[in-house]
Structure 1
Amino acid sequence: MPLVEISNLTVAFSGTRVLHGIDLSIEKGEAVGLVGESGCGKSVTWLAALGLLPGKATISGDVCIGDQQLVGASRTTLEGVRGGRIAMIFQDPSSSLNPVIRAGRQIAEAVELHRGLTGKAARDETIRLMELVGIPDAPRRFDNFPHEFSGGQNQRLMIAMALAGNPDLLVADEPTTALDATIQAQILDLLISIRAETGMAIVFISHDLGAVSQICERVNVMYAGRIVEQCSTEALFQSPRHPYTRGLFDAIAQIDGGRERLVPIPGTVPQPGRLPGGCAFAPRCTHASELCHNTIPQLVGDRDRRATACFHPIGMSGANLRVVSSVQGATVA
C-alpha cells in the first residue's frame, strides 16, 4: 500500500476549476518531484491535500494516508496529520517564521505539540534538530530571533521544525527558490542526507529540473492543473515524451554549449477560467492536430512504466496509444 494515495483530486476557487483530477501516489521512503511553470497547480495539490486552502475552495476526490481519508476530514483529524505524518516547508522561510518569537522557541513548540515533550527535554530535542540541519553553535543560537539568521539558515530552521514530528512524508515547496546557488546546493544536500538518515519520503515541488534531478527518483510534470507526464527521473532526462516537457528542456541554457539562442515555448499558460476545449497545451504545441484542439488526452501508462497525456508523444507512434477522452467519452486508438 502506498504511503499517500491521491485520486481524482479537483479544486475550484469560486466556481473556477484549477485542478482537474490529479492522481498521484507516494511510496514509503521515496523522493518524488512535481515540476511545472508557476500557476500549474503544484502547490495547490498539497495545500488541498492537507486542508490548508481557504474556505472559498471547493475540493473533491480522495487523499488517503494509509487508511485515513483527508478530504472532508475533521479539523482534529487534519491537525493530527499535519506536522505529525505529513510536514510541509515553503519557499519563503522569512514569511513562515514569526519575527517576534525566538527561533528555538518556535521549533520547541512543534516538538511539544507532536512529541509531547516539555521543559528541558523539549529544549534538548530542539537543539538536536538545529544541529541536525546544520545550525552552528545551536545551544547559543536557540534564543536568536529569525532576523539574526541568514536566509539559508532560516530555511534550515523551517526544515528542523518540519522534522519535529518525525513525519513519514516531507513536502518541500520550492525550498531553494529564494536562495543563491551555493546555499541551494547545501539545502539539497541536507534534504538528501536527512532522507537517508530518517527514511522519510519527500515530495519536492520545483520549477528547477536540475534540482529535481539531484533529489528525486520519479517526476510528475504538471501543466494547467493536470499531470501530463509521469516517469522515472532518468527516463525523463533521457527522453521526455510530452511536447511541454521537451519544451522545458529546450529552454534550459547549456553550460558547456555555444552562444545559440534558447528555444522558448511560444505563447502563455491559459488562465484557469479560459482553458481551450481540448488539450490545454495545444495552442502552444508544434505537434498539435485537430484531435488535440477538440479532445482532452488522458494520462495513459505504457509497458515502460511511463505515463503521458498526449496524442502525439515525442518518440512514439500515436497509433500505439489508447487514450480516453473525458470530453467526448470516446476511445481513440
Structure 2
Amino acid sequence: MGAAKSNLVELRDLKVAFDGVQVLHGIDLTVGRGEALGLVGESGCGKSVTWLAALGLLPGKAGVSGSVRLEGRELCGSPRSTLESVRGGRIAMIFQDPSSSLNPVLRIGRQITEALALHRGLRGDAARTEALRLMDMVGIPDARSRFDLYAHEFSGGQCQRLMIAMALAGEPDLLIADEPTTALDATIQAQILDLLIQLRAETGMATVFISHDLGAVSQVCERVCVMYAGRIVEQGTVEQLFAAPRHPYTRGLFDAIPRIDGPRQPLVPIPGTVPNPKHLPAGCAFSPRCSRVLQSCHTELPPLVPQGDGRLLACARPVPLALVIHAAKPRTPARIVESALQ
C-alpha cells in the first residue's frame, strides 16, 4: 500500500431521521485526497442518503445531525450560502438517472455553460470553449455540432457522460457517483467505469462510487464500506474485502453474485428481506437473516471496531478466514465485454 492520503472529507456520527424514524445510525467515514471509496449494500441501506445529507440535499423534513467536515470546515448545519459554494465547486454529484437530472427544455451546451458561469465565472466564448473541451474529455463525439442539441437527442450512455461533464465544470475535489451505470448495458457500463478511472487519474480528484455492483467497485475503488440498515458493517481495502469478506452480510453479497466463468452453480441468495427502519431488531439488524447468529446478536449491537489486518468490522461472530473462498474479484463489466470480444 502507498502512503496514507490526508483526509478531504470526514463524516462523524452522521444521523438522519424522517418523521422521527431513524434511517442513518451514526455513520463514520473519511475520504482521502485523490482516493476512490466504494459504498456498497442493498437498496435502502442508506448509501445515497449518506451523501445527500452531507451536501444538505435532503428535504426539510429530514432531521440531520452529526459532523460533516470538508478540510476541517464544518458543513452540517451551515447556512445555505456556504453549502451552495461547496456543491458543484468542491464536491460534485452525478445521479442514477441522467434523463431526470438533465433539463429537457434547455440545450445541453447551455446547461454546461451555466455550471461554468456559476462555479468558475466563465461566460461567452470562454464558457463555450471550455464546455466543448469538457464534452470532448468525457467522450462525446463531434461535440461542436452537438453543443445545441437537447438531452433527448443523446443516448443514455451519452447523457451520463454529459452529467459527468457538468460535474467536472466546477473542477471539484470530490466526485460522488451515485449508481452511475444503472440501466446501461454492459458495454456502456464498462465505458463509463473506464472514464471515471481515467478522469480521476488525470484530475487527481477523489471519488465516492455508490453501487450494489461489486464487480464495478472492484474495478474503480481502492477502499470499500459495506452498509446495512443505515450502518457501516465492514470497511477495508478492496484487496481485503474481495479476498476475505468477514462480515456474514458481506459474504452473502459475494455468494449472490452470478458468475459466467467456471462450472454452473446455483445462486445463494441472502434469506429474508431488509428490515423496515421503523421496526429494526434490538441488536444487530442483520441477525434475522444471518447464518452465524448468536443469541447475543438479538439483543446487543456490535460496534464497528478495528481488526488486526486494519479493516473495521461490526460482528460478534465474523466469518473465519479458513472458510473464506473468494480469492478472486468478481468479473467487472469491462472483463465480461473483453471476454465476449475475444
Kindly indicate whether residue 39 of structure 2 is the aligned counterpart of residue 34 of structure 1: yes
Kindly indicate whether residue 282 of structure 2 is the aligned counterpart of residue 280 of structure 1: no
Kindly indicate whether residue 67 of structure 2 is the aligned counterpart of residue 80 of structure 1: no
2:224 counterpart residue number: 219
1:23 counterpart residue number: 28
2:142 counterpart residue number: 137
Kindly indicate whether residue 307 of structure 2 is the aligned counterpart of residue 309 of structure 1: no
Kindly indicate whether residue 107 of structure 2 is the aligned counterpart of residue 95 of structure 1: no
1:188 counterpart residue number: 193
Cα offsets for 1:32-88 (capped at 9, x unmatched) = 000000000000000000000001100000000012111100000000000000000
Pairwise CA RMSD? 0.9
Q: Structure 2: how far apart are the matches of 1:302 and 1:154?
A: 42
Task: Report the residue type matching 2:296 in the other structure.
Answer: L
2:202 is aligned, of 197, 202, 208, to 197
2:250 is aligned, of 238, 245, 249, to 245
Shift of 1:129: 0.3
Relative to the length of structure 1, the TM-score reads 0.94
Which 10-residue stretch deviates more, 93-102 or 294-303? 294-303
Cα offsets for 1:126-171 (capped at 9, x unmatched) = 0000000000111111100000100000000000000000000000
1:321 counterpart residue number: none
Cα offsets for 1:66-117 (capped at 9, x unmatched) = 1211110000000000000000000100000000100111011000100001
2:173 is aligned, of 168, 175, 191, to 168
Q: Structure 1: how far apart are the matches of 2:153 and 2:264?
A: 42
1:324 counterpart residue number: none
Q: Structure 1: how far apart are the matches of 2:79 and 2:182?
A: 33
The alignment partner of 1:34 has SS state of strand
Task: Decide whether the 8 Å contact of 2:244 with 2:321 is kept in 1.
Answer: no
Relative to the length of structure 2, the TM-score reads 0.92
Q: Structure 2: how far apart are the matches of 1:271 and 1:163?
A: 37
Shift of 1:257: 2.9
2:297 is aligned, of 289, 292, 296, to 292
2:260 counterpart residue number: 255
Q: Structure 1: how far apart are the matches of 2:245 and 2:35?
A: 21
Q: Which runs of 4+ in 1 moved over 3 A?
A: none
Q: Structure 2: how far apart are the matches of 1:51 and 1:81?
A: 10
Shift of 1:316: 6.1
* Total equivalences in the alignment: 317
1:178 counterpart residue number: 183
Identify unmatched segments of 5+ residues in structure 2. Answer: 1-5, 323-342
Kindly indicate whether residue 127 of structure 2 is the aligned counterpart of residue 153 of structure 1: no
